[in-house]
Amino acid sequence: MIRLMKITMQKTNIALSVIVFATGVFLPAAQAQQGASDVRIFNTVKTKLAEGEQVVGGTVSTPDPDIYCAMANSGYDFIWIEMQHSHLGYTDVARMIWACKDAPAMPFIRVPDATEGDIQKAVDIGAVGIIVPMVDSVEKIENAVRFAKYPPIGRRSQGGGQYGALWGSDYRAAANDNIMIVAMIETPEGTAQADKIARVDGVDLVFIASSDLGSFSGRRQGDPVYENLVTRIKTETEKAGKYIGGPAAWMSSREGYHFFQGPGTASLIRTGVRVTLGADDPCRFVPSGTAPVQGEDPCP
């Protein structure tokens, strides 16, 4: 474990800051800061967002590595690996990620919950994004950050996994700067805590779960109550200096969003078949810029 200590020596008006390691080795703070600035960023989603770009991820909920590879090499920025609402296990997902370890799309996992076991398994198999569902409290997202990050930021333990083979021998030093934490707000209760959730250190992005926000509030998109919930989440997230995300349908209708969840594999297959058969647009009944409602979506 590393202990950080700032020591100021007043001599000839020179202030010297050092970092004290448990081993007794002293390094100048400036040298340590220089090392931190040299951390390799391999998470391309993070670099694209920092450059002001929008990023889109396709959703995968099947364990077939061939389908995962097709999605990961299709042009998406990341793959939203769905473990909350699917039968996927961590062995399945580990094989999927490994099968396309050189694919340009980054592996993001929506974990079932913000538990230590779920999150540490997700990062150990190589996820560079942890999507946390049903964030209604500050404590829940603080736990997610804690379990995903190595000390001194968090309490992720060093164990086995394929992360090193995927991301390089410097993974331990670079992981904290590459792993992104996405907080999903899906309820009015979470919306009421949006300011505090967005301000949690380590949270990179807040995602508005459009369908569930409608389900829990009993309102639809366009309804003033629903839109006030969305506006509150977005406004508080922007005040905190964090990115805001939403469904891919909002790319064309709402400004200020940078991170989008794209359709799932079943939807893409159906759409592809219809296109190749020359059929009409299966989404013709969905108003432009409106996120489909689960269960009523003609192209789910």
What per-residue confidence (pLDDT) applies to 276?
A: 78
Strands (E), the chain: 18-20, 26-28, 55-60, 78-82, 106-110, 129-132, 180-185, 205-208, 243-247, 259-264
What per-residue confidence (pLDDT) applies to 290?
A: 66
Catalytic residues: 85
Model-level pTM? Answer: 0.81
What per-residue confidence (pLDDT) applies to 245?
A: 98
What per-residue confidence (pLDDT) applies to 261?
A: 97
Nearest alpha carbon to residue 125 among 73, 174, 171? 171
> Which domains can be identified in the chain, with CATH numbers?
1-38 (no CATH), 45-276 (3.20.20.60)
Residues of the chain with pLDDT under 70: 1-37, 279-300
